[in-house]
Structure formats: C-alpha cells, structure tokens
Structure 1
Amino acid sequence: MVRNRCRKTTKGVDPDKLRQAAIEVKERNVSINLAAMALGIPRTTLQRYMKASIVLRRKTGKGKDWFENFRKRNGLAIRQPEATSLARQVASNRPVVSEFYSRLADVYSRCKFTPRDIYNMDESGFTTVQNPEKFVSSKEKKQVGGTVSQERGKLTTMACTVNAQGNALPPFYIFKKVRWNDAFLNGAPHGSTGTANKLAWMTVDIFSQGYLPFFIQQTKCSPEHPVLLILDNHCSHVSIEAVQLAKSSGVILLTIPPHTSHRLQLFDTTIFGLMKIYFNRSLDDFMRTYPGQSVPIYDIGRLTERSFAQGMTVANITSGFRCTGIYPLDANIFSDADYQPSDVTDRPVAEASEQNSLNDSQHSSMIPHLAKDEPQPSTSSGEVSLPVCTPQSASEVSMTYTPADLHPLPKAAPRTSKGKRRRAKTAILTDTPEK
C-alpha cells in the first residue's frame, strides 16, 4: 500500500458529504436511502463507507501506516536515547553548574583573556577494533559478518587541546607499551608527541611531566601573558607538581564539576563523536586495503591523523565553546528542561550546606540556650510584644498553579554516606588557597 498517495482526479464522492451523511444516519436515525438522496450520494457508496467506519472502530490497535502519518503530521521522530548514568543526572543541577560559570566569570574579569588564550583539554581512547559499518544484504541471510582487526584491540589515548579561536594544538599520545619508540608517531599530525605506559592511561606523572610542559611549549605562555586551561576533575590532573608548574608558567587551571562533562565538556558534545566516526572509517579502509592483516600499533598515528584533521575544524571547535557557554560566556545556556532529571534527587550543594551549618553553629554558640518551657524575660515593664501580621494585598497573592505544584514529581530518599570521602567540586586549582 502506498502511504503517501496523492489523488490525481476529482472523480468520486466528496469526503465531506460522506461524513455529513454518516452523521445524519448515526445521530438523527435517518435511513441510508434518505441521507443518500438528500446529499446526492450513491446509496451503495454510503453503505460501504458506513461499513468501513464500523470495522475501523472495532479494531483495537493502529497500523503502521497510521503511525507514520501521525508522526509526519506532528513533526515527530524516532530517536535512540543516549545512555546517561544516574550520577550525571544528579550532578547536572543548577547550583553546581552555576558555581562553575561564576568561577569562569571571575577568571575572565581578572585576566581579560582573548579567544586564543582560552583552552580546553580532554582525553579519549582509540582502539584498533572498529565497529563495521552498515551495508546492503539479502533478507534471506540471518547473519552478516564484518572483518575486524582483533578480538580485543590495543588502546591508545589521545589528549587533545583546542582554544576558543578555533585552533587545535597537536595531540599528545599515550601508547600501551613499556618503552617509547619514535616509530609510534609515524604519520601522526605534525608537532605531535607522546609517551608510553602499561595501561595507556593518563597518570599524575604523565600529566605533570609530559603533557603540561608540552602545553606550555606550544602556547608560549608566561606569568606576564597567562592562559586559561579548562579540564575535567580527574585525579591525574590534580597534583601539587602540576599546580606548581602551572602557577610558575602562567597557566590558570579551571576544573569542571564531576559528572558534568556531557554538558560542559565541549569535546564530548561536538568533537570526539565525529573523530570516532572518521577513525572507524579509516580502520575499515585499512582492513579492505590489507586483507588478512591486523592493525599494528605503529599505524595508529597515521590512522588518527585523518580523523584529527576532519574532526578538529574551526566550525566544530567554535560551536563546542558556544554550545557549552564557555565562550562567549553564557551562564543561562541550559534551560529548565536540561535540569529536570536532577529534580528527583534535588540535593543542595555540599559547600553551601557546610557553610550554613558552620554559620548556624557559630550563631547558636553566641546565643544562650533556653529551654522550651522556660519563659523569656520581657524587655519592658508590664508590656508584652506580640507579632504584628500585615495583610497582603490582592495583587501580592498569586493564584497561579502549575501541574508540578498540584502533583509534584516523586523525590528520592537522601543517600546515606558510607565513607568520609570528600566530595569534589569545580575549582580554580592555581588560586591560593583552594580547599
């Protein structure tokens, strides 16, 4: 059946007349013959229309054609949701995100950065096992296979850095090897460097002794010409050696709140997804060009060079800074709908709660404790001061209610802390003191 059939002729009965005749028959108990004669409709046509409407009412469900037309009429689309952990939904609340933007505004007001001085850094892993792309196959085949390099690929980590002007620094590689070999960088983007360790992960030593000196060398920063580096709150980025080197070299380190990288990390929103697509295609081309050969680790640099060039475009980089509200600074980039998943838990910021409890304890220590039943002495002789209630005017009383006020969302019970681990938060690491 053609789903989008267009009528090519004017033959037949007007649908409006058919509907009007059906209403006459159903609601006013007019016979089919009289209704057809009154509106000039063939009797058999009206009988078929009535019979078809009765059959449609008896159907319990809607068909595929009905759903497709309903989707097109209302501008709907079938989308695959992105898996978001509960920790990300809880952490992405307005107080936590607002604290990050307030610290970012503080740094902007102090240093007056230009777009070329605002940098963002993040790591991502690239493996030698790709996901085969889709292709056309016969319906009779139950399974179709695609050749991959290995069962479990070799991991390589890339630390990428971009600035708000749209430029990208050469990547910093971390290969899964014990000893470093210069052949690892064959075909890599010009100016790239790297190191090697057993797990191919970013560590405290690699960040403070490898990546950070490389970043200072590429940006030519100094205490007289500082730069801003925004990065996540991973433990490998937070160390005394890294903070001391950054402060002496004019690098201001600003961390984003934990579990908010899907909103505030521009690499996760605009760049890394596109890079992984192009890297996957490069691996497919390699398997077709060299059949029967696995991808060696020495070709990682050449294979990532294409994806790096196609993903690190000026449009993607500037769009990432803009959609995260980092540059230009936009603290209201996220709407109320973006914070709705965190309404279920609705926990306050840890810093605010600790500060309020500290203020309450100090205030209560200065005020003498009184028993509930003990009468308080009066300040004046024979006079009792009573609270004065001032009635509100009709304009001050709001009578507007929303569905959330009448039937609010269910709230999760507060979590019980199992340990004394300190909760991380956004921070300017190079500021003193920062606790």
Structure 2
Amino acid sequence: MEKINYNPSRLYNIYIVITLKGKKQVGTVTAAERGALVTVVFCMNAVGGFVPPLFVFPRKNMKADLLDGAPPGTIAACHPSGWIQQHIFSQWLQHFIGHIKPSLQDQVLLILDGHYYSHTRNIEVIEMGRKNHVTILCIPPPTSHRMQSLDIAFMSPFKTYDSQQIEMWLKQNPGRIANAFHICKLTCPAYLKSATAEISANGFRKCGIYPLNGNVFADHEFKKCNC
C-alpha cells in the first residue's frame, strides 16, 4: 500500500454534536418542543481550517429561514428524530468534498469516531471517499475521549460562548420561547468565536495527531481503555 504523507491542512477531524433544543447546559432557554434534538456536524483541520457545519433539524420539511443567521456556507437537513441518518451523512460528505476539493495529488485524511452506523456501515460514504481521494480513519472507541480533537479543544469554548449568547437573548426577549428557527442565529456568533486557528491546532496537538506524538498516552492509560 502506498504511504501518503498528509499536509496538515489536509488532516480533518469531524465531530457530531447532538443537543436538546433549549437544554439547561447551554442556558436557561425554554424549548417549545421539549426533548426535540438538533444535530450539528462540525469539522476542522490541523491548521485552522473549518468546514461550514451541517444542522439536522427535527422536522419533516426544510424551510430556508431555519438557516437565517447561520455561519456562511452552512447546510441543513431534516429528519423527524433530529438524529443524523446515513443519507444525511452522505450529503455532508458531498458538502465536505465540494468545500475541500481533494485530488490525487492533494489527498485528504478524514478522522472520525466509529460510534454511528452513518459512519462505519455506510457503503455510499466509503465509496464516495475512495472515488474522491478521501481516506476515512475511525478513532478506536476506547480512545476517543483523548483523540477527538474537536471535543478536546473546540467544544468547551463553543459551549461557553453559546451559553452567553442564549443568556443574552433571554434577557433581551423576556418570556419568549426559543425554537428551531432561533438555533442558527444563536449558534453563529459562538461558532465564529470558537473556530480559530489556535483552537484547531491545539486540538490536534493535544491528541498527538499533528505533530505526530506516539507518547500522548501513558502506559497506564492503555490498561484503563483495554487497548
């Protein structure tokens, strides 16, 4: 098998966030639909590049104004559950390829976790990756808490900024209830503050992915995760 030395700008990590609309962790907002889920797919590379996110809204039909205020280039899909599905993840990969434009001379390594069937058992995604020079690598489940760079570096500041946005919105709109049409408007400022080169570089470095660090795990940690 030919060895490929990936440029750090072509090392991408993907993270799928599933959040309750109006859940307490991101503020004291009250949801019109209790328990409704909104899924967001974030993706960044090792040198500060971010792919515009994908939102999955818990409804049957898409409306353009659901994306009002979203980060530039954001895409969306709908499913009654709010969970990402195989065909939606295929849609996201097409979005990723269109944004990154990998080629034979400039191939891409896409790192993701293996928790979702939409990732690991999606033949369409695997074939699409092969045809478009995207190598898909799954993080071993017992190590994702230490090797998921978006979770380690991006999500903490994002959640902090997101909570601040929601609290500000609540103060400015007393008595109002947030719904799906508020999600992007509230998320965009938090996302833009968090999607920085420093944060992405720190995430890959702390995970030992780039620069490559084979000693990111101590010997006793291998015993804990049964690696």
Mapped to 1, the partners of 2:156 and 2:176 lie a distance apart of 27
AA aligned opposite 1:221: P
SS of residue matched to 1:119: strand
Mapped to 2, the partners of 1:211 and 1:333 lie a distance apart of 30
Summarize the Cα distance change of 1:200–1:150 in structure 2 as closer, same or farther, 3 Å threshold: closer
Mapped to 2, the partners of 1:148 and 1:302 lie a distance apart of 14
How many residues align? The count is: 224
CA contact (8 A) 2:56 2:79 kept: yes
Unaligned runs of 5+ in 2: none
TM-score, length basis structure 2: 0.91
Aligned pair partner of 2:168 in 277, 280, 285: 285
Summarize the Cα distance change of 1:147–1:307 in structure 2 as closer, same or farther, 3 Å threshold: closer
Which range moves more in the overlay, 317-326 or 283-292? 283-292
Aligned pair partner of 1:263 in 125, 132, 146: 146
SS of residue matched to 1:170: strand
CA contact (8 A) 2:55 2:76 kept: yes
Mapped to 2, the partners of 1:341 and 1:253 lie a distance apart of 26
Shift of 1:130: 4.4
Partner of 2:46: 164
AA aligned opposite 1:268: D
AA aligned opposite 1:324: C
Matched, 1:175 2:57: yes
Matched, 1:302 2:202: no
AA aligned opposite 1:277: T
Partner of 1:421: none
Whichever of the two has the greater Rg, that structure is 1
Mapped to 2, the partners of 1:189 and 1:326 lie a distance apart of 27
CA contact (8 A) 1:126 1:155 kept: yes
List structure 1 runs of 4+ shifted beyond 2 angstroms: 125-128, 130-133, 150-155, 222-225, 336-342
Partner of 1:237: 119
Which range moves more in the overlay, 278-287 or 329-338? 329-338
AA aligned opposite 2:104: P
**Superposition pairs of residues 163-242 of structure 1, within 5 angstroms:** 163-208=45-90, 210-233=91-114, 234-238=116-120, 239-242=122-125
Matched, 1:113 2:6: yes
SS of residue matched to 1:156: strand
Unaligned runs of 5+ in 1: 1-105, 134-145, 350-435
Partner of 1:395: none
CA contact (8 A) 1:246 1:253 kept: yes
Per-residue CA deviation, residues 2-40 of structure 1 (Å, 9 max, x unaligned), is xxxxxxxxxxxxxxxxxxxxxxxxxxxxxxxxxxxxxxx
CA contact (8 A) 2:38 2:82 kept: yes
SS of residue matched to 2:43: strand
Matched, 1:155 2:48: no
Percent identical = 31
Mapped to 1, the partners of 2:162 and 2:209 lie a distance apart of 27
TM-score, length basis structure 1: 0.49
Mapped to 2, the partners of 1:281 and 1:170 lie a distance apart of 22
Partner of 2:219: 336
Aligned pair partner of 1:326 in 209, 218, 223: 209
SS of residue matched to 1:198: coil
Shift of 1:149: 1.3
